[in-house]
Amino acid sequence: MVLPPTAMLVVTLLTLPLATATLLFASGRQPRTLTLAAALLSTCAALALGLNVHLEGVSVHAIGGWEAPLGIHWQVTVPGAVMLLATAMVGLAGAVYGAGYFVHRPGPEGRMARVFMPLWLFAWGGLNALFVAADLFNLYVALEVLTLASVALVALSARRTALQAAMRYLLAALFGSVIYLLGVALLYGQYGILDLDGLTSKLDPKHPGSRAGAVALTIGLLTKAAIFPLHFWLPGAHGRAEPPVSALLSGLVVAAAFYLLLRLWFGPLAGLLTFGVGTLFGAIGAGALLWGGVLALMQRRLKMMVAYSTVSQFGFAMLVFPLALAADREPVVTGGTLLLANHALAKAALFLAAGSLVRASGSDRIDRLVGFTGSSRWAWIAVILAAAALIGVPPTLGFSAKWLLLQVAVAEGAWWWLGAMLGGTLLTFAYLGRLLERALLAPAPAPHPPKLKIALLLPALLLALLACVMGLWAFDVETFARLEPGP
């Protein structure tokens, strides 16, 4: 089989969603077949790209033929390709789910359906642009595309609570952007270049300019990734948005900011990752694990619980930094990337399934959810599978990721971080177990739960299954060895 060259695939991945979204907006109509075809095509491009990277390795493309310090590069790294794949899966699943979830009708009732798809595609394009970008300022613009699309998606229902959450999210994200841009300015003033590779070779960890720049970039990205003390905006935004939107936001938008953190700290800023910095990140992560986990345990509403779970899970991801203090960073970066991918798939599945359950139950209180009956059964199966992946039950992708990190922790003798990881896993088990127990063992009486459309069940099920099956593939250590970080 002959695959198209990587450059073509990247161009497709970046321009197809944007162009389709623009055309949809211009026409003012939403032909479902066309949007789903575009989503499917993007997914195929991502799959082919992933295969290309697997076969040929990392590749770099100069846009417009202008070489790096002057022009902008796209860089397809292995972690980037993994995230592109996860984006494609969640993007396709969300598009199908959205087609079934929103009411398609002319007039005001159909407003959400009309607006959803263009925004969804813009967000998708923004994510793709972000995962291949290798330039500090280009990353900023891509982040803004993503932010505006996400804010508009949060405000989709136009209810007061949703608008409030969107406003809060917008302010937090813009605050993050300002600080990020300050960091870009400081680094540009120091080195006069913007591309990540050039910075990696030039960066002098001793200079106060690089340190201040690193601090600014990091605070900006921590805000956008909603890492523990700066997570204040997340639960509202993710808990009050419509289900497919929550899936995208929780699974990918937050992960994108975190991915950038990984990209920067294991790329240009690697020289600055000292013991103190790593420990600080680890402490933040441990705090997030605890705080998010405990609050998730206390929630009464299903979607809020899942949203707090995101805060907690990203605490887990923060533990990557102290673990990387050891000589060998490769397995840690791999573990971190797999963790992000697992979270993207499982959390998106969880939110999609939660949306279906809420629709079937007519309430999002955990103690009013329908039980394991009728078509809701399939949603529950998706929830169980996703929960298994989030907790890290053996064959899942979550297990592979955590197992890698555990091995590093044991090898290093980092008992503190080991303890935090185990504690976090236990908390995850506790709140997800509580959900399953409440709903499956003591279900609310629901005489005639409405039958759910297949579009509301299949995407969640497939995503959750994927999170489980990918673990089998990723557990092959040979595969691990190939997942080296970018050049």
Partner 1 sequence: MHPAEALFDALLLLSMVVLAWQGVHARNMFRAVVSFMMFGLLTAVAWVRLEAPDIALAEAALGAGLTGALLLATLGRLKPERRGARLQRAAKLSMLPWLALGLAGTMTLLAVTLALPAPGLGERVLSAMPEAGVDSPVTAVLLNFRAWDTLLEIAVMLLAVIAIWSLGQDVLASTSRLPAPSLPALVRLLFPLLVLSTFYLLWRGGHGPGGAFPAGALLAAGLVLALLAGARVPERMTGAPLRCALAAGLLAFIIIAVGVMAEGGVFFAYPPRHAPMLIAIVEIAAGLSIGVMLTALFLGGEPTDTQGGST
Partner 2 sequence: MSLPPGTLFLLASALLFAIGAHGLVTCRHLLRKVLALNVAMTGVFLLLVTLGRSGTTVDPVPHAMVLTGIVVALSTTAVALGLIVRLERRRP
Task: Give the footprint of partner 1 on this chain (CB under 8 A).
Answer: 7, 11, 15, 18-19, 22-23, 25-28, 61-66, 69-72, 111, 115, 118-119, 122, 125-126, 129, 137-138, 141-142, 144-145, 148-149, 151-152, 155-156, 158, 163, 182, 186, 188-193, 207-209, 212
Distances 460 to 62, 243, 341, 483 between C-alpha atoms, Å: 37, 11, 15, 27
Q: Does 175 bind partner 2 (CB under 8 A)?
A: yes
Question: Taking the C-alpha atoms of 151, 157, 161 and 166 in order, what is their torsion angle to the nearest 10 degrees?
Answer: 0
**Which of 11, 68, 174, 436 contacts partner 2 by CB under 8 A?**
174
Cα–Cα separations (whole angstroms), residue 245 to 43, 97, 210: 18, 10, 37
Q: Please choose which of partner 1, partner 2, none residue 122 contacts, taking the beta carbon within 5 to 8 angstroms, the exact cut-off set by kind.
A: partner 1
Residue 373: name its binding partner from partner 1, partner 2, none (Cβ under 5 to 8 Å by kind).
none
475 lines the binding site for partner 2 (CB under 8 A): no
Out of partner 2, partner 1, none, what residue 22 binds, judged by CB under 5 to 8 A for its kind, is partner 1
Query: How many H helices and E strands in the chain?
Result: 20, 2
Spatial CA neighbour of 389 closest among 434, 338, 355, 442: 338
Instruction: Find the shortest distance in angstroms from Cβ 302 to partner 1.
Output: 26
The CA–CA distances, whole Å, from 209 to 184, 190, 275 equal: 11, 6, 20
Task: Collect all residues with Cβ–Cβ distance below 8 Å to 468 and sequence separation of at least 6.
Answer: 385, 388, 389, 395, 396, 397
Smallest separation (angstroms) from partner 1 to the CB of 306: 24
Relative orientation angle of helices 78-101 and 458-474, to the nearest 10 degrees: 160
User: Which entry of partner 2, partner 1, none binds 52, CB below 5 to 8 A by partner kind?
Assistant: none
Nearest approach, Cβ of residue 133 and partner 1 (Å): 9
Among partner 1, partner 2, none, residue 429 binds (CB under 5-8 Å by kind): none
Choose the binding region for partner 2 from 141-149, 290-298, 397-405, 478-486 (rule: CB under 8 A): 141-149
Among partner 2, partner 1, none, residue 115 binds (CB under 5-8 Å by kind): partner 1
Q: Is 182 a residue that touches partner 2 (CB under 8 A)?
A: yes
Which one of partner 1, partner 2, none is in contact with 178 (Cβ closer than 5 to 8 A by kind)? Answer: partner 2
The Cα 104–Cα 15 span in angstroms is: 26
CB of 27 to partner 2, least distance (A): 22
Using alpha carbons, select from 480, 92, 51, 474 the residue that is nearest to residue 251.
Answer: 92
Strand boundaries in 29-68, DSSP class E: 59-62
23 contact choice in partner 2, partner 1, none (CB below 5 to 8 Å, kind-dependent): partner 1
When the beta carbons of 48 and 439 are compared against partner 1, the nearer one is 48
> Do residues 268 and 196 touch, judged by C-beta distance below 8 A?
yes
d(C-alpha 220, C-alpha 274), whole Å: 20
Among 137, 372, 475, 480, binds partner 2 (CB under 8 A): 137
Of 13, 151, 320, 409, the one binding partner 2 (CB under 8 A) is: 151
**Which of 168, 165, 145, 144 lies closest to 155, judged by CA?**
165
Instruction: Examine residue 149 and tell whether it contacts partner 2 (CB under 8 A).
Output: no
Q: Is the Cβ of residue 204 or residue 328 nearer to partner 1 in the bound state?
A: 204
Structural contact between residues 59 and 74, judged by C-beta atoms closer than 8 angstroms: no
Tokens representing 455? 């579009």
Which of these ranges, 103-111, 164-172, 242-250, 428-436, lies near partner 2 under the rule CB under 8 A? Answer: 164-172
Contact pick of 7, 23, 41, 167 for partner 2 (by CB under 8 A): 167
61 binds, among partner 1, partner 2, none (CB under 5 to 8 A by kind): partner 1
Instruction: State how far the Cα of 50 lies from the Cα of 397, in Å rounded to an integer.
Output: 17
Report the candidate in 190, 192, 314 with the shortest Cα–Cα distance to residue 252. Answer: 314
Q: Which residues pair with 135 in a beta bridge?
A: 195
Distance from C-alpha of 71 to C-alpha of 304, rounded to nearest angstrom: 43
Q: Quick one: which segment of 182-190, 229-237, 439-447, 450-458 binds partner 2 (CB under 8 A)?
A: 182-190
Yes or no: say if 77 and 44 are a contact pair by the CB < 8 Å rule.
Answer: no
Distance CA 289, CA 310 (A): 9
Rounded CA-CA distance 170/405 in Å is: 34
Q: How does DSSP classify residue 60? A: E
- Which of 222/324 has CB closer to partner 1? 222
Q: Which does 66 bind (CB under 5 to 8 A by kind): partner 1, partner 2, none?
A: partner 1
The angle subtended at Cα 37 by Cα 33 and Cα 41, nearest 5°, is 175
Residue 155 within binding range of partner 2, rule CB under 8 A = yes
Nearer to partner 1, 179 or 296 (CB): 179
Applying CB under 8 A, does 189 fall inside the site for partner 2?
A: yes
What is the contact surface with partner 2 in residues (CB under 8 A)?
137, 140-141, 144, 147-148, 151-152, 155, 158-160, 163-164, 166-167, 170-171, 174-175, 177-179, 181-182, 185-186, 188-189, 192, 194
